[in-house]
Amino acid sequence: MAAHDVQTSSTTQQPAVQLVNRLLLDAANAGASDVHLESQERGLRVRYRIDGVLQDVPAPPESVREAIVSRLKVMAELDITERRQAHDGRARLVVGGRELDVRVSTLPTLHGESVVLRLLDTVRRPMGLDQLGMAEDTLAALQHCAASPNGMLLTTGPTGSGKTSTLYALVQRLSSGREKIVSVEDPVEYELPGVVQVPVRERGGMTFDRALRSMLRHDPDVLLVGELRDPETVEVCVQAALTGHLVLSTLHTNDAPSALTRLLDLGVAPYLVGSTVEAVLAQRLARRLCPDCALGVAAPEAVREEMRQEGVASDFIRVAVGCPACRGTGYRGRTGIFELLVVDDEVRDAVVRRDGAGQLRRLALEHGMRSLRADGWRQVAAGVTTVEEVVRVLPAALGSVHAPKRPAARRRSRARKAETKRAQAAAGDATGRADDASSHSGAEAHD
Ligand SMILES: [Zn+2]
């Protein structure tokens, strides 16, 4: 595929070409991951997704709507005369000297075709493990688990939570040249030096399952498997983990304990889950405050109380303001919010007993797991992100569990404290505190 060089200076270009080029350049400069062009009754609405959040940008004149859509379809080698079907195509662009791989999707809508562009930087490198925003103790524990010669290490979270990037960062750290690391991915998101990467090509017959079985014959030490999505994949991974391989993969669950019960749902025997999974890391991405304009303020009492309940104390927080450097949003870049569940003997026993996710969660918290919410508040207290971001990416149900009826005798004092806090939180719910209804309501919904 030939790369279109996107230039904005030429005066011989048609207006639509100029507008599209200017739009692409602006989107790339703003660090947008996606550009949304939505056909409305009057013209196009244009939005960029930056750091996971959509932002409106000035719309082009209504008169050029169809010309813009057609121009984008031409770039992606799509049929411009067919406007009643959805299309998918790709374009290679050189924007301001950077090479971008652009996925173009069109959708026929009520008021005409809408287009979404996904911009992928072809030379981008995954972030380092210590750039993800992880607390030092979590990072140390994760690396300890990753040093195991066999077993499974899973990251979990919704789409777009950064779980694949974390696995990539982990693989980079493991890649010392002594191990053979093979990955099977759909699609390959980054090129990883030192890793044999196998892209899945369903059409060419290289299915996920087949790729996985083939990669085992390449004598790997470490396997990176894009996603555990069906019983067949899970079975192969469990077998690999049992036979001297370290398997890294992702799941879609809300929190770390639910990943263990999801494996049971996928047909893995409880004793196999217990004996293969070393740790599960749940995560979210929250926007980072812009360092140029963030403002320190006294933390409101309701926020301090919420933080105290998760064991975080801070009298001051920072709020988003907005300046030219952050396009007025107050944020630049993102930080990971993490919850690491290390499978120790007691958690293993609980899995074998088929305890539910809620029970596993309580046990993990007793054993010192920092919850997603607690990790979010830790970063609010550190001035990395805001209360609004933590609430946005961790809506109500997460992290809330009901206090057990009576604490077991062996519990450590820290766990007891956490228990009391949770009981208080539950009591707060019952009396209907309006200020944090959003953070506690629906606690039952999750497991
Ligand atoms: Zn700013």
Torsion angle (degrees, nearest 10) of CA 429, 431, 435, 439: 0
Q: What is the pLDDT of residue 138?
A: 97
Length of the chain: 447
Indicate whether 14 pLDDT > 70.
yes
CB distance 312 to 229 below 8 Å: no
Instruction: Look up residue 6 and give its two tokens.
Output: 């996107």
> Cα of 332 to ligand 1 centre, how many Å?
7
> Cα of 253 to ligand 1 centre, how many Å?
33
What share of the chain has pLDDT > 70, as a percent?
86
> Cα of 94 to ligand 1 centre, how many Å?
28
Distances (CA, A) of 199 to 94, 202, 226: 24, 10, 10
> Cα of 329 to ligand 1 centre, how many Å?
7
**DSSP H/E element including 6:** strand 3-6
> Cα of 120 to ligand 1 centre, how many Å?
25
Which of 256, 234, 250, 284 lies closest to 360 in space, CA to CA?
256
Q: Which spans in 200-325 are helix H?
A: 208-216, 231-242, 256-265, 270-276, 301-309
- 58-105 pLDDT, tens per residue? 999 999 999 999 999 999 999 989 888 999 999 988 887 888 889 999
**DSSP H/E element including 424:** helix 413-430
> Cα of 341 to ligand 1 centre, how many Å?
35
> Cα of 118 to ligand 1 centre, how many Å?
25
Confidence label for 12 from pLDDT (cuts 50, 70 and 90):
low
Range of lowest pLDDT (133-142, 291-300, 336-345, 391-400)? 391-400
Q: What is the pLDDT of residue 410?
A: 40
Contacts of 394 (CB under 8 A, 6+ apart): 284, 337, 372, 373, 376
Indicate whether 220 pLDDT > 90.
yes
Q: What is the pLDDT of residue 320?
A: 97
Confidence label for 416 from pLDDT (cuts 50, 70 and 90):
very low
> Cα of 384 to ligand 1 centre, how many Å?
13
CB under 5 Å of ion ligand 1: residues: 290, 292-293, 323, 325-326
> Cα of 290 to ligand 1 centre, how many Å?
5
> Cα of 223 to ligand 1 centre, how many Å?
41
Which of 141, 117, 128 lies closest to 47 in space, CA to CA?
117
pTM summary value:
0.81
Q: What is the mean pLDDT of residues 254-272?
A: 96
Bond before 187 cis per omega within 30 degrees = yes
> Cα of 80 to ligand 1 centre, how many Å?
40
Question: Which amino acid does the sequence have at 194?
Answer: G
> Cα of 47 to ligand 1 centre, how many Å?
19
> Cα of 322 to ligand 1 centre, how many Å?
4
Which of 167, 421, 133, 69 lies closest to 288 in space, CA to CA?
133
> Cα of 391 to ligand 1 centre, how many Å?
21
Q: What is the mean pLDDT of residues 152-165?
A: 94
> Cα of 96 to ligand 1 centre, how many Å?
23
> Cα of 394 to ligand 1 centre, how many Å?
24
Q: What is the pLDDT of residue 125?
A: 73
Indicate whether 421 pLDDT > 70.
no
